[in-house]
A and B are shown apart, each in its own frame.
Chain A
């Protein structure tokens, strides 16, 4: 065997041992075997001087290259073993020590999400008082005095001839009194219904109402807007169903059902086996409302819609008790941090 072949074979053998060594001790032993003072590679290097000059140069270069590589590989392999055996510097499974961040109320989050979607479509937010007059809550919205339509909403009456608004639609009237079309507004806020508190009903709830008034606004625009909203809020690919309904302040009026996103429309307990969930009311603003606020209903048309906040949130997060939205139970609130 030529000295060159011997170096090549030794390197091969040594690398094999490095890769298969099962302990730090055996690695150290191998290192001594090859690179120690009496090691095999050392022996070759020591024997160089006995070789002819031509060969000495060639073998010397190869043997040195081999020594550098083996030292490097032994170092790396030993490092691997020592890392395993020594105590770790840190335990990454311990909880991090950053400050605890508080949770925004779920209602706030849902309102922000809804308003964000409408904001992206060019709607602007307007607000109004919670304690309203009959005029803004009913009369100006085309509820005839002493009419069964008023029974649709159980109203809290307040001293001083006031009431707690039953929807945020009064803000529509207040804005119509202030502005000229085009008007494109959403009115998020708190509303009240005189109902016994239960898991299904509460004295208060939140609503995001919206409306657009301009020349040439059509029911097709209303449908397009709500389809876009539902896509953004509930997810894409869900069908909507527009059912004729009745609200004094819109005509034609519709209720919108969305295909149940829990069962995909097959029917489940949440959608009461219908495959559909009732989510909002809408319609074209009644000409009487425009007229009452001094806008020419021949020139302008508009649409309006009203979306509850708690109900869609209950559906989305499968919350089964509306009281959780109002009792500030941290076990509930912290789930939405």
Chain B
């Protein structure tokens, strides 16, 4: 909302600078976002007079004007349709800087030198009107600065208001806070209304069908108005509040709304269609055209102002096309009503429109501010449009809305705030805000109906601190609360998992969690999806059900930017809908993705990242968290390539999958190099690290290391060979590691050589060479039996 600085000065009598006003208001709840000078584009702009006009050869849209700017005559090229000789105009001299940082210089147009510009309102930043140049009064003194002639040195204060404060959506509302901040009295305009004898009730009747939706409807009849442009002071005030002047009647309804916050509507009485106002709900499928030319098909959500037969306005939202005030209008029905905020909210949603009027009613107007608003407007219509105001207000107010009385305990106020305000100060603040205060403990506070937000004691406490300022509360310097803070197991888990994986050279990804139903279907056609009902785009229309598509998207993004060697992980949620309130699930998962090569260094040779780089990282986690070993069981996983596609099991429970992304899925995300992924469901794994490390006594007796190279069929898994060694050697095999794997020329086709390094050790004594030989023989014979293994060399 925008308000004129001069207006606020007038209403408060304060001589604060615009900045001071803005800052103080910001610190008391009406956040002042911008302060702009209304005359910021008027330097070097003066009153000029068009002395003569001449055609320019070969140009029919522009003319040459000779302008007197008070210092002499200059030639100016002008293209405005409304320029005429003898006019007084707004003239920008060379050096003026207009809207859009447009600097006026000497220019040559069609061979004519032009020494300035005749301006429209838009060029001077007054409004967005660019239909023609500004034409000033005939008696405007040539050469005077325009800002002085128009008395236009004002400031426009733009406020960002919170939805709980409808009372501040007006000049008086803002001024009320200012007055409280400075402890001065608000200077409301005095109303001195002249009425004719004829009672308005002879001209119109008002009835309300739905008093819940419309608790009050008031009307006045004003006859014989003359529609014309408003006088300059009205237009100037509207412009300084960012509102475009239209004509006197419309301008007055706008001005009064800006002044006191209450929206008004003027109907053309002769087009109204009857002499009665009936407020009712719209019928289902009832048609109605608003004055912006839109035709709407209504339902009973919309509250309709009717003439007893058909609609003339969507109550509180927008007037109707049929009864709009036009240039030939002479008689008016002026409406000031109060509508239920939630009715207006539903109504404007149905109409898919927001107006100045609806946004005020929706937040809560003042049902008892109607009299001021309608009388103030009637007075101005009499003064400025020559209207005859008929006697009295036709006021239908079936159920009076009374102000609320609230108790405030001064001690409670200080107890909540940690402040030390005196009761007197609290009383004064509340009184300055135009609340009625009596009593001492508690204070009995009556909140006028323009403050619908004040309902409870805490609301009054907020009023006190908002005016006194948060700076008046001393920051506490001691800590309060429990002595001990626990750490969630899942947080500790995530922290440690990140340490392990970053130490393994994996970079952490993080996704927003939204995904595409199309992509998700391509990856996991059978997996349910959680749909977003109002997505921002088709690509983000579900909550993801797997981390794999987002991991692949991250790979794709990086490949597109020529970052080709990737080791990535993400710890994140996937989402599954439930059938009732309790069974929606958001399991935590871990995804790993590798693609490209290991780093190439001056000493290390790069090699392609592969499946074992995934399992390597997983094994580090298994080790760190003391999980049971993972088993990789060949399995058909939809989005994985058949050749490298595994189910991951932990103690025979499936916990995830790992493998090579299949070509279709890779192509769908624009990935052209092999990507290997693993996804693990962490449910059940986070809890498994309860017993932390238990110390094992250091070995007392020496170890006997032996190497063993065996030839076996290529299909024999290394894991089974190791298992076989362990079985044969029993507890004596402390560790069994693969240290070489070879297939090639020196080996028979279909066979491979696996070299094992076995560490034998006994806990009960030193092993003799003979004992070790004996165990080793047992191991060898078991390997020969089980795998048809040959021992390569001794």
Partners in one complex: yes
Interface positions of A (Cβ within 8 A of B)? 94-95, 97, 99-105, 107-108, 112, 119, 121-127, 129-131, 133, 146-149, 151-152, 156-160, 162, 164, 182, 184, 190, 192, 194-197, 202-204, 212, 214, 216-221, 223-225, 227, 241-246, 251-254, 284, 286-287, 301, 325-331, 333-334
B346 proximity list for chain A (CB < 8 A): 146
Q: How far is the CB of A33 from chain B (nearest CB, A)?
A: 48
- The docked-state distance in angstroms from the alpha carbon of A218 to that of B480 is 11
A159 proximity list for chain B (CB < 8 A): 530-531, 533, 577
Q: How far is the CB of B508 from chain A (nearest CB, A)?
A: 4
Which chain A residue lies CB-closest to B617? Answer: A102
Instruction: Show 5 residue pairs from A and B whose CB-CB distance is below 8 angstroms, ordered by the A residue.
Output: A97-B601, A146-B342, A251-B462, A301-B415, A330-B566
Q: Is B647 close to A, CB under 8 A?
A: no
Which chain B residue lies CB-closest to A241? Answer: B27
Contact call B471/A242, Cβ cutoff below 8 A: yes
B7 proximity list for chain A (CB < 8 A): none
Taking CB atoms and an 8 Å cut-off, the chain B residues in 161-186 that contact chain A are: 162-165
B28, B362, B507, B566 — most chain A CB neighbours (10 Å): B507
Contact call B416/A219, Cβ cutoff below 8 A: yes
A105 proximity list for chain B (CB < 8 A): 508-510
> Which of B80-88, B215-223, B319-327, B453-461 is found at the contact surface with chain A?
B453-461
A325 proximity list for chain B (CB < 8 A): 510
Taking CB atoms and an 8 Å cut-off, the chain B residues in 476-529 that contact chain A are: 476-488, 490-491, 495, 498, 501-514
Known contacts A130-B573, A146-B345; is A218 also within 8 Å of B418 by CB? yes
> Which of B113-121, B387-395, B556-564, B725-733 is found at the contact surface with chain A?
B556-564
Q: How far is the CB of B472 from chain A (nearest CB, A)?
A: 10
Which chain B residue lies CB-closest to A195? Answer: B536
Q: Is B739 close to A, CB under 8 A?
A: no
Q: Is B534 close to A, CB under 8 A?
A: yes
- The docked-state distance in angstroms from the alpha carbon of A182 to that of B483 is 11
Q: Is B31 close to A, CB under 8 A?
A: yes
Interface membership of chain B positions 596-616, coded 1 if the CB is closer than 8 angstroms to chain A and 0 otherwise: 000101111000000000000
B561 proximity list for chain A (CB < 8 A): 329, 331
Contact of A156 among B162, B418, B461, B534 (CB under 8 A): B534
- Sorted nearest first, the 6 A-B pairs with minimum C-beta distance are A220-B418, A218-B418, A224-B476, A246-B162, A204-B512, A242-B470
Q: Is B475 close to A, CB under 8 A?
A: yes
Known contacts A104-B498, A125-B487, A184-B481; is A164 also within 8 Å of B418 by CB? no
Taking CB atoms and an 8 Å cut-off, the chain B residues in 536-578 that contact chain A are: 536, 540, 543, 553-554, 557-558, 561, 563, 566-569, 573, 575, 577-578
Contact of A329 among B506, B533, B558 (CB under 8 A): B558
- The docked-state distance in angstroms from the alpha carbon of A203 to that of B477 is 38
Q: How far is the CB of B575 from chain A (nearest CB, A)?
A: 6
Contact call B502/A102, Cβ cutoff below 8 A: yes
Contact call A328/B510, Cβ cutoff below 8 A: yes
- The docked-state distance in angstroms from the alpha carbon of A196 to that of B534 is 12
Which chain B residue lies CB-closest to A135? Answer: B581
Interface membership of chain B positions 123-140, coded 1 if the CB is closer than 8 angstroms to chain A and 0 otherwise: 000000000000000000
Interface positions of B (Cβ within 8 A of A)? 26-29, 31, 162-165, 341-342, 345-346, 362-363, 415-419, 456, 458-459, 461-462, 465-466, 470-471, 473-488, 490-491, 495, 498, 501-514, 530-536, 540, 543, 553-554, 557-558, 561, 563, 566-569, 573, 575, 577-578, 581, 584, 586, 599, 601-604
Known contacts A133-B581, A159-B531, A203-B540; is A333 also within 8 Å of B475 by CB? no
A162 proximity list for chain B (CB < 8 A): 577, 584
Main SS class of interface, A: mixed
Contact call A131/B530, Cβ cutoff below 8 A: yes
Contact call A252/B466, Cβ cutoff below 8 A: yes
B487 proximity list for chain A (CB < 8 A): 124-125
Q: How far is the CB of B286 from chain A (nearest CB, A)?
A: 22
Which chain B residue lies CB-closest to A286? Answer: B458
Q: How far is the CB of A34 from chain B (nearest CB, A)?
A: 48
Q: How far is the CB of B639 from chain A (nearest CB, A)?
A: 19
Which chain A residue lies CB-closest to B491? Answer: A125
Contact call A121/B479, Cβ cutoff below 8 A: yes
Contact call A220/B530, Cβ cutoff below 8 A: no
- The docked-state distance in angstroms from the alpha carbon of A254 to that of B26 is 11
User: What 8 new A-B contacts, CB under 8 Å, besides A100-B599, A131-B584?
Assistant: A131-B575, A149-B163, A158-B543, A164-B532, A194-B534, A224-B478, A251-B459, A333-B507
Contact call A101/B162, Cβ cutoff below 8 A: no
Main SS class of interface, B: loop
A253 proximity list for chain B (CB < 8 A): 462
Contact call A244/B28, Cβ cutoff below 8 A: yes
Contact call A101/B503, Cβ cutoff below 8 A: yes
Contact of B470 among A146, A214, A223 (CB under 8 A): A223
Contact call A221/B480, Cβ cutoff below 8 A: yes
B477 proximity list for chain A (CB < 8 A): 224
- The docked-state distance in angstroms from the alpha carbon of A331 to that of B20 is 46
- The docked-state distance in angstroms from the alpha carbon of A131 to that of B480 is 32
Which chain B residue lies CB-closest to A333? Answer: B507
- The docked-state distance in angstroms from the alpha carbon of A164 to that of B741 is 51
Contact call A122/B530, Cβ cutoff below 8 A: no
Contact call B509/A243, Cβ cutoff below 8 A: no
Contact of B508 among A95, A102, A195 (CB under 8 A): A102
Known contacts A219-B465, A325-B510; is A245 also within 8 Å of B162 by CB? yes
Contact call A220/B604, Cβ cutoff below 8 A: no
Contact call B534/A328, Cβ cutoff below 8 A: no
Contact call A220/B345, Cβ cutoff below 8 A: no
- The docked-state distance in angstroms from the alpha carbon of A337 to that of B603 is 23
Contact call B164/A246, Cβ cutoff below 8 A: yes
Contact of A220 among B473, B503, B532 (CB under 8 A): B473
A124 proximity list for chain B (CB < 8 A): 482, 485-487
Known contacts A102-B508, A158-B543; is A245 also within 8 Å of B531 by CB? no
Contact call B490/A127, Cβ cutoff below 8 A: yes
Contact call A148/B567, Cβ cutoff below 8 A: no
Contact call A122/B483, Cβ cutoff below 8 A: yes
- The docked-state distance in angstroms from the alpha carbon of A286 to that of B495 is 34
Contact of A212 among B471, B481, B511 (CB under 8 A): B481
Which chain A residue lies CB-closest to B354? Answer: A151
Contact call B557/A220, Cβ cutoff below 8 A: no
Q: How far is the CB of B572 from chain A (nearest CB, A)?
A: 9
Contact call A127/B488, Cβ cutoff below 8 A: yes
Contact call B26/A102, Cβ cutoff below 8 A: no
B568 proximity list for chain A (CB < 8 A): 328
Contact call A252/B502, Cβ cutoff below 8 A: no
Contact call A334/B480, Cβ cutoff below 8 A: no
- The docked-state distance in angstroms from the alpha carbon of A214 to that of B471 is 24
Known contacts A196-B536, A252-B465, A329-B561; is A108 also within 8 Å of B165 by CB? no
Contact call B475/A220, Cβ cutoff below 8 A: yes
Contact call B577/A244, Cβ cutoff below 8 A: no
Q: How far is the CB of B261 from chain A (nearest CB, A)?
A: 15
- The docked-state distance in angstroms from the alpha carbon of A328 to that of B481 is 39
- The docked-state distance in angstroms from the alpha carbon of A122 to that of B487 is 11
B459 proximity list for chain A (CB < 8 A): 251
Known contacts A203-B540, A223-B476; is A108 also within 8 Å of B512 by CB? no
Q: How far is the CB of A130 from chain B (nearest CB, A)?
A: 6
Q: How far is the CB of A328 from chain B (nearest CB, A)?
A: 4
Q: How far is the CB of A142 from chain B (nearest CB, A)?
A: 11
Contact call B575/A130, Cβ cutoff below 8 A: yes
- The docked-state distance in angstroms from the alpha carbon of A158 to that of B540 is 12
Contact of B530 among A158, A216, A218, A330 (CB under 8 A): A158
Q: How far is the CB of A203 from chain B (nearest CB, A)?
A: 6
Contact call B586/A197, Cβ cutoff below 8 A: no
B471 proximity list for chain A (CB < 8 A): 242
Known contacts A212-B480, A251-B462; is A218 also within 8 Å of B416 by CB? yes
Contact call A224/B28, Cβ cutoff below 8 A: no
B456 proximity list for chain A (CB < 8 A): 287
A220 proximity list for chain B (CB < 8 A): 417-419, 473-476
Contact of B165 among A152, A202, A225, A246 (CB under 8 A): A246
- The docked-state distance in angstroms from the alpha carbon of A103 to that of B513 is 20
